[in-house]
Amino acid sequence: MTCLPAHTEKKLGLVIDLDTCVGCQACVTACKEWNTGGHMAPLTDIDPYGGHVDGVWFNRVHTYEHMTEMGGRTVNFPRSCLHCEQPACVTVCPTGASYKRASDGIVLVDEDKCIGCKLCSWACPYGAREFDTDVGVMKKCTLCVDRIYNDNLAEEDRVPACVAACPTSARHFGDLGDPASAISQLVEARGGVELMPELGYKPTNRYLPPRARTERAARVDAPALEPIRAEGGFLGWIDRMLSN
């Protein structure tokens, strides 16, 4: 049994916008790339080019088809540790390897204390724990502790790798314990939600729900493109070349 801090000074976490995530996996690969060479290295790959690909990924994106009155809609759902306020993954740990930091609320694993019993992965309802079979220890998202406090990086780069990589700015990082922070105000403005609050883990991360499609947006066809082959100039030349 491992104790939790009575309170944390900050609640650092992520806000993920399900309206603008396009499921490109940039956050997934940026996470793997940064952590493979950084704080949690190495992150094992098993049969990476074969038929039974497996390994350690701290961030995974799942894609669902959701039916609405306007028709089908694709929802991309990135999933990683939510740095819960009441994480049973920590309290269940028999060695103190899993812990929650009082300073910023980040949940981490001390590999030197981990005995690989996997109790934490059973306790996490979000599937956010990743067991590394090569080294026999549990690993997970660190919220890029080796980036966000890294004085060697430019200030704008001191965000988790997934946030820096997202091409649609669907990922946001900050202190969700400060109601005045930009990230808290974003949650307020967009009605951000906790994932499975009924479980009582009090996840720090929030998800911004997809905005409803308007009837107009659902029905307006894309405008027909005018042929430009007959045009002169550079565009006409490119169009003729590509059409050959």
In the shown chain, the binding pattern of residues 20 to 39 toward ligand SF4, with x for contact by CB under 6 A and - for none, equals -xxxxxxx------------
State which of residues 11, 83, 172, 206 lies at the interface with ligand SF4 (CB under 6 A): 83
| Rounded CA Rg of the chain | 22
Residue type, 237: W
Helix spans in 40-99 (H):
88-91
Q: By C-beta, is 121 or 181 nearer to ligand SF4?
A: 121
Q: Is 161 helix (H, G, I), strand (E, B) or coil?
A: helix
Window 40 to 59, contacts with ligand SF4 (CB under 6 A): none
Beta strands in 130-184 (DSSP E): 130-132, 137-139, 171-175
Bridge partner residues of 71 (DSSP)? 68
Q: Is 95 helix (H, G, I), strand (E, B) or coil?
A: coil
Q: Tokens 């290295």 belong to which residue?
A: 41
Report the nearest approach of ligand SF4 to the CB of residue 190 (Å).
15
Decide if residue 165 touches ligand SF4 (CB under 6 A).
Answer: yes
Q: Is 1 helix (H, G, I), strand (E, B) or coil?
A: coil
Q: By C-beta, is 83 or 147 nearer to ligand SF4?
A: 83
| CA–CA gap between residue 102 and residue 11 (Å, rounded) | 9
Q: What number of chain residues touch ligand SF4 (CB under 6 A)?
A: 29
Decide if residue 159 touches ligand SF4 (CB under 6 A).
Answer: no
DSSP secondary structure letter of residue 159: S
Decide if residue 15 touches ligand SF4 (CB under 6 A).
Answer: no
Which range touches ligand SF4 (CB under 6 A), out of 63-71, 122-130, 208-216, 230-238?
122-130
| CA–CA gap between residue 110 and residue 91 (Å, rounded) | 14
User: What number of other Cβ atoms are within 10 A of residue 154's Cβ?
Assistant: 7
State which of residues 12, 14, 43, 82 lies at the interface with ligand SF4 (CB under 6 A): 82
Which range touches ligand SF4 (CB under 6 A), out of 62-70, 76-84, 181-189, 234-242?
76-84
| CA–CA gap between residue 76 and residue 78 (Å, rounded) | 7
State which of residues 43, 89, 97, 183 lies at the interface with ligand SF4 (CB under 6 A): 89
Decide if residue 14 touches ligand SF4 (CB under 6 A).
Answer: no
Q: Is 120 helix (H, G, I), strand (E, B) or coil?
A: helix
Q: By C-beta, is 93 or 184 nearer to ligand SF4?
A: 93
Question: Which residues are near ligand SF4 by CB under 6 A?
Answer: 21-27, 61, 76, 78, 81-84, 87, 89, 107, 124, 126, 128-129, 140, 165-166, 168, 170-171, 201, 203
